[in-house]
Amino acid sequence: MPRRRDGEATRDKILTAAAEVFACRGYRGGTVAEIAAASGINGALISYYYGGKAELYRSAWDFAYQRAAGKYPVDGGLDDAAPAVKRLHGIIASAIARRSDPENRENEIMLNELSSPTGILDDVHARSFADLRRVLRKAVGDILGSGIAEEEQRLAVLSIFSMCIIPVKQIQKLEGNPAYVYQPEERIRHVYNFAMAGLLDILTGGVK
């Protein structure tokens, strides 16, 4: 295997390993030595290519985000002209598929950031989680219409968002039932139905 002049193969190995280590152990818990070992490269190369741990973290997250965003568009691939209900389905389907992809470490990194922020990704928080919330907001708003109170719409968005980002694999581990595996397709169908039932209930005034 020829050594690439720009060390591209090395950079890739580093980013892949870094995303995995940071996802599993958090920013502070993951060490550069661990990332070096996981990627099979020399630890000094991390500083050589990325300057330091913080910049590596940013790059690794960006790497994971870019890949996932390309493969699973946050709007589900449907534009604003599509019916709101179809858009909602697309958003949920894409969000769940994205987070079910075993190669994708983005959600775990974001969850770590959510519960104990490093500050390093503060300026990109507008992406990922916030992206998902934004498109959900739009679809839910179009479904419920202006007759429903702002607050009710916010709550509905929050609930649907929660169902989309829950880290299923980790929950499964707590459950301690390795025989059972949640299938993404089944979860997408279920969450969409659950969400639609909730929204219709709000629309038909099931709420008080």
Partner DNA sequence: ATTATCTATAGATCTATAGATAATGC
Instruction: Write out the residues near a second copy by the rule CB under 8 A.
Output: 23-29, 108, 111-112, 114-117, 125, 129-130, 133, 151-152, 154-156, 158-159, 161-163, 165-168, 170-171, 174-175, 180, 182, 186-187, 189-191, 193-198, 200-202, 206-207
Minimum separation from the CB atom of position 208 to a second copy (A):
8
Q: Quote the CA–CA distance of 151 and 153 in Å, as a whole number.
A: 5
Minimum separation from the CB atom of position 195 to DNA (A):
41
Under the criterion CB under 7 A, does residue 2 sit at the interface with DNA?
yes
Q: Quote the CA–CA distance of 195 and 59 in Å, as a whole number.
A: 35
Out of 37, 52, 66, 201, point to the residue binding DNA (CB under 7 A).
52
If DSSP codes are grouped into helix, strand and coil, which group holds residue 161? helix
Cβ count near 82 (within 10 Å): 16
In the complex with a second copy, which residue's Cβ is closer, 33 or 130?
Answer: 130
Contacts with 55 (C-beta within 8 Å, 6 or more apart), sequence order: none
Minimum separation from the CB atom of position 2 to a second copy (A):
37
Minimum separation from the CB atom of position 81 to a second copy (A):
27
Token duo for residue 95: 């969000």
- The span of 45-53, 103-111, 124-132, 180-188 binding DNA (CB under 7 A) equals 45-53
Instruction: Read off the amino acid at residue 7.
Output: G
Minimum separation from the CB atom of position 67 to a second copy (A):
19
Q: Quote the CA–CA distance of 58 and 65 in Å, as a whole number.
A: 10
Given a contact cutoff of 8 angstroms between Cβ atoms, the answer to whether 144 and 200 are in contact is no
Contacts with 38 (C-beta within 8 Å, 6 or more apart), sequence order: 17, 20, 21
If contact means CB under 5 to 8 A according to the sort of partner, which of DNA, a second copy, none does residue 112 touch?
a second copy
Give the number of residues written for the chain.
Answer: 208
In the complex with a second copy, which residue's Cβ is closer, 4 or 154?
Answer: 154
- Which residue, among 112, 99, 154, 83, has the nearest Cα to 24 in the 3D structure? 112
Out of 26, 43, 73, 198, point to the residue binding DNA (CB under 7 A).
43
Give residues in contact with DNA (CB under 7 A): 2-7, 9-10, 30-33, 41-48, 51-54
